[in-house]
A and B are shown apart, each in its own frame.
Chain A
Amino acid sequence: MEVPSRWYNIIPDLPLPLPPPVDPPDRDSSSIELLNQILPVEVIRQQFSADRWIDIPDEIKELYKNFGRPTPLLRARRLEEKINTKSKIFFKYEGALPTGSHKLNAAIPQAYYAKKDGIESVITETGAGQWGAAVSLAARTVGIKSTVFMVRSSYDQKQQRRYLMEMYGARVIPSPSTTTAFGRSVHGSGSGSLGIAMSEAIEYALKTGAKYLVGSVLEVVLMYQSIIGLEVIGQLNEIGEEPDVLIGCVGGGSNFAGFTYPFIGSNAKGRFIAVGPAEVPKFSSGKYRYDFPDTAEILPLIKMITLGADFEPPPIYSGGLRYHGVAPTLSMLIQQEKVSSREYGEKISAEAAKMFAETQGIVPALESSHAVAAAIDEAKAADMRGTSSVIVFNMSGHGLLELDNYMKIYGDR
Chain B
Amino acid sequence: MMAELVIYNTVGFPDPETFFKFVQGACSYVDALELGIPPKFAKYDGPTIRRSYVAVAGTDYMNLLSNVKCRAIALTYLDGLDLEKFLEMVRCTKAVMFPDLLIDHMNRLEEVTEAVKKMSLKNVIFISPSVPDTIIKSASRFADEFVYLGIRPATGVPTPVNVTKLVKRVRVIVDGKLIVGFGLKDNEEIAQAIEGGADGVAVGTSVMKVLEERGESEAIEAVRRLKEYVDSL
Contacts and interface: CB of A to CB of B under 8 A. Distances in A.
A20 interface: yes
The listed residue with most B CB atoms (<10 A of its CB), out of A13, A18, A20, A36, is A20
A51 B161 CA distance: 11
B160 interface: yes
A50 interface: yes
A251 B43 CA distance: 27
Interface residues of A, number: 29
Given A11-B129, A11-B132, A20-B128, A48 B152 contact: yes
Interface string B50-73: 110000000000000000000000
Contacts of B44: 20, 22
A239 to B, nearest CB: 32
A41 B131 CA distance: 23
Interface SS of chain A: loop
A21 B128 CA distance: 12
Contacts of B104: 19
A32 B102 contact: no
Contact of B154 (A14, A18, A23, A41): A23
Contacts of A25: 41-42
Contacts of B42: 25
B135 A32 contact: no
Interface string B145-184: 0000000111001111110011001000000000000000
B30 to A, nearest CB: 27
B131 A17 contact: yes
A18 B102 CA distance: 10
Contacts of B166: 49-50
A44 B160 contact: yes
B159 A32 contact: yes
Given A23-B46, A44-B160, A48-B153, A17 B169 contact: no
Contact of A13 (B41, B43, B132, B162): B132
A49 B129 contact: yes
A50 B162 CA distance: 10
B133 interface: yes
A203 B165 CA distance: 33
Contact of A17 (B47, B128, B153): B128
B52 to A, nearest CB: 12
B153 A45 contact: no
Contacts of B154: 20-23, 30, 32
Nearest to B45: A23
Given A19-B104, A44-B160, A49-B165, A32 B132 contact: no
Given A16-B106, A50-B166, A51-B169, 19 more contacts: A13-B133, A15-B132, A16-B135, A17-B130, A19-B104, A20-B103, A22-B153, A22-B154, A23-B154, A28-B51, A30-B46, A36-B158, A36-B159, A42-B160, A48-B153, A48-B161, A49-B129, A49-B166, A50-B165
